[in-house]
Amino acid sequence: MRDLAHTPMTDGTPIRWFSWRRAQRHRPSLQFLVSTGRHHGAESLEEARLLLVLDFAAGLVDVLSQPLRLRFNTTTGRRGHIPDFLAVTRTGIWLIDVRPRPLIAPEDLEAFTATAEVALACGWHYTVVAGWRDHVAAAVDAFSSQRRPLSDPLGLQPVLMTAAREGGTFGELVDATPFPPLARAQLLHLLRHRRLGTDLSRPFGDRSAVINPAGRRRPSWTCRRGRHWCWTAGNGR
């Protein structure tokens, strides 16, 4: 395990490949991530959602699906486990399993514990993603619809950035432009790329406040009066 910490894991390939067949219960897919510029495999809708969240909020550098196979002993015999993702972020390396809370069985807890020990030995972080608040997942899905590069031939982005300095809701900023339907896509793009901020502790919609930090340096995530705001610094980081 000490050697594993010095192995360039993201240069490898998934231990287990993704398959598609009729009548299967899970839904594998390939998810494109702006952070890496590549498609990454996911074995379920829950895993695909996690990839979108990592791409949006985790300072993602690279990610590998199905990165390694673990072998460990239990009181009932020898077992194996393949974690779902290895994510390299600007704040460290994360080994991640995805399992909806109702589906976690006792044998899964054994596998998660063994995986946590491996991550600890390597100096990595480990987490099990067991679910999301519905309104947060919906907001990330909305932002991700505009995650790819977006041209702005009508110059709507500077108008939206300027208007957001005065404060206002998503709907108010959109309606204040000459082309509201197009401005809606541009505003989602600005939120997705953290050039503007919004309150993700509440359901996202036209009444959500949109904030322009106007070049002030703040952490990427900060808490203000009990609200969790998504901020961006003036230099775009």
Mind giving me the DSSP string for 146-187? T-S----TT-HHHHHHHHHHT--BHHHHHHTSS-HHHHHHHH
- Bridge-partner residues for 79, per DSSP? 72
3-state SS assignment for residue 207: coil
Instruction: Tell me what pLDDT residue 74 has.
Output: 87
How many CB atoms are closer than 10 A to CB 66? 19
**How far is residue 161 CA from its own chain's centroid?**
24
Could you tell me which residues come within 8 angstroms of residue 32 by beta carbon, excluding any fewer than 6 positions away?
Answer: 38, 39, 40, 148
Rg (CA), the chain: 20
pTM: 0.80
The kind and range of the H/E element at 204 are none
Q: Are strands 77-81 and 125-129 parallel, antiparallel or unpaired?
A: unpaired
3-state SS assignment for residue 227: strand
**How far is residue 76 CA from its own chain's centroid?**
36
- The DSSP-derived string for 101-151 is GGG--HHHHHHHHHHHHHHHHHT-EEEEE----HHHHHHHHHHHTT-S---
Q: Tens place of pLDDT for every residue, the chain, 237 residues? A: 777 777 777 777 888 776 766 766 677 888 999 999 999 999 999 999 999 999 998 789 999 999 999 999 988 889 999 999 999 999 999 999 999 999 999 999 999 999 999 999 999 999 999 998 889 889 999 999 999 999 999 999 999 999 999 889 999 999 999 999 999 999 999 999 989 999 888 999 999 999 987 644 443 443 343 444 444 333 333
- Of the CA atoms within 13 Å of residue 171, those in its CB half-sphere come to 5
Quote the CA–CA distance of 213 and 87 in Å, as a whole number.
29
- Amino acid sitting at position 60: L
- Boundaries of CATH 3.40.1350.10 in the chain? 4-129
Instruction: Tell me what pLDDT residue 7 has.
Output: 75
Select from 3.40.50.150, 3.40.50.620, 3.40.1350.10, 3.30.10.20 the CATH code of 4-129: 3.40.1350.10
Instruction: Tell me what pLDDT residue 23 has.
Output: 66
49: tokens are 């959602």
Kindly compute the dihedral angle of the four CA atoms of residues 95, 44, 199, 219, in this order, to the nearest 10 degrees.
20
